[in-house]
Amino acid sequence: DDFAAATGSPFAPFEDEVRSWLPWCRSLPKIELHAHLNGSVRSSTLLELAIRLGEKGLINFPEVEAIILKGDRSLAECFKLFDLIHLLTTDHNIITRITKEVIEDFASENVIYLELRTTPKLNPLAGMTKRSYVEAVLAGLKAVETVEVISNTSEIQQNGLVMTRPKESIHVRLLLSIDRRESTEAAMETVQLALDMQKFGIVGIDLSGNPRVGEWKTFMPALKLAREQGLPITLHCGEVPNTSEVQNMLAFQPERIGHACCLEEPEWAALLQSSIPVEVCLTSNVRTETVPFLRDHHFVSLYKSRHPSILCTDDSGIFATDISREYALAAVCFGLTKAELLSMARNALRHIFCGDEVKAELEDKFKAMATVID
């Protein structure tokens, strides 16, 4: 924290108050809908993996360590870091391990439903196909030790009876991401894979990656295929200024969008008129400077307009945040009360890409919380 203050962290003025909110925010059951697997890896794990590659002479460890430990980074630097992380997380076992750890971390923050997104990757050197990558992620769900992971609806009902569960459980579903660097064919392959693997808990498609790379028309055929086949879609929209793309994205009417930082007035009005929920990533937007100051974040406008918005982490590992902290920031910076934070968490349920059965089960957990709120 002293380091944060000394380096002029944009969060330094709020740290004490945020800290006082954290225990309550942790106890609140939460829904996480915008978390990238490789952006959510613990720094300690990244460092451990980097040491191994350093020992093999494959990377220069001190350089990599400095990049991993750097606090603020621009959006462009972020994408360089992702390329580096992807060098560290190349084989199936590592993908399984990071998935397990990321889920355990979200569960420890009392996340009761997590939609984790990740980009299926081809890596011939590691014998990895997009499908085997996703299988390694699914193995990570099974490897979780600290809580029970529920990943598809067939696990909810057995012999027509709704099973009672141990108290500690987390529903985890996956979204497969299309990286904006990919070709139309590669994007189609990802959508086809998601369709083939729906029964394993894959519930939707995300479009992400460096917003300064790639064109909307490249991804349209794949997104249309997903839409035709009934697979919900969330798009990273307006992370940097790009009016025509934002217009195209809003006209497509995705089931959700992420960020919405750089919208011009007409597109902002169109968004508010629509009912497209926005995944809001406070720390990420301020760290990458797509929003200059937290107090001026467009969340305020969304919230005042009662536009559906969901607090999310984006990349908890690389932005050194967690979902409880995002709720605490909303309380401290925008004056949300405990009751309002509870409503935010609860309303997120309306926008999950999973079926009604799951919603009903999770709603009960919020009802229990509503009776104890002080």
Catalytic residue among 135, 239, 279, 326: 239
Which is nearer to ligand 6MZ, 208 or 324 (by Cβ)?
208
Among 38, 242, 283, 309, binds ligand 6MZ (CB under 6 A): 38
Which structure tokens are listed for 187? 């994007």
Residues 303 and 341 sit within 8 Å (Cβ to Cβ): no
Question: How far is residue 59's CA from residue 52's CA, in Å, rounded to a whole number?
Answer: 9
With CB under 6 A as the contact rule, the residue among 9, 96, 151, 177 that binds ligand 6MZ is 177
Which helix (H) or strand (E) segment holds residue 232: the answer is none
The gap between the terminal CA atoms of the chain, to the nearest Å, is 29
Question: Quick check: helix, strand or coil at residue 213?
Answer: coil
- The tokens describing 129, both together, are 């196909």
Among 9, 151, 283, 288, binds ligand 6MZ (CB under 6 A): 288
Which residue, 105, 108, 145, is CA-closest to 27? 108
- Rounded distance between C-alpha atoms, residue 50 and residue 197, angstroms: 32
Residue 323 engages ligand 6MZ in binding (rule: CB under 6 A): no
The answer to the question of residue 109 lying near ligand 6MZ (CB under 6 A) is no
Q: Smallest distance, Å, CB 281 to ligand 6MZ?
A: 7
Non-local (6+) Cβ contacts of 263 within 8 A are: 238, 246, 271, 298
Confirm if 183 and 175 have CB atoms less than 8 A apart: no
By the rule CB under 6 A, 307 interacts with ligand 6MZ: no
Stretch that binds ligand 6MZ, among 34-42, 226-234, 350-358, 361-369 (CB under 6 A): 34-42
Q: By CB under 6 A, is residue 78 in contact with ligand 6MZ? A: yes
Q: How far is the CB of 208 from ligand 6MZ (least distance, A)?
A: 4
User: Is 63 a known active-site residue?
Assistant: no
Residue 234 interacting with ligand 6MZ (CB under 6 A): no
* Residue count, binding to ligand 6MZ (CB under 6 A): 18
Q: Which residues bind ligand 6MZ (CB under 6 A)?
A: 36-39, 78, 82, 118-119, 177, 179, 208-209, 236, 239, 284, 288, 314-315
Q: Which residues are catalytic?
A: 239
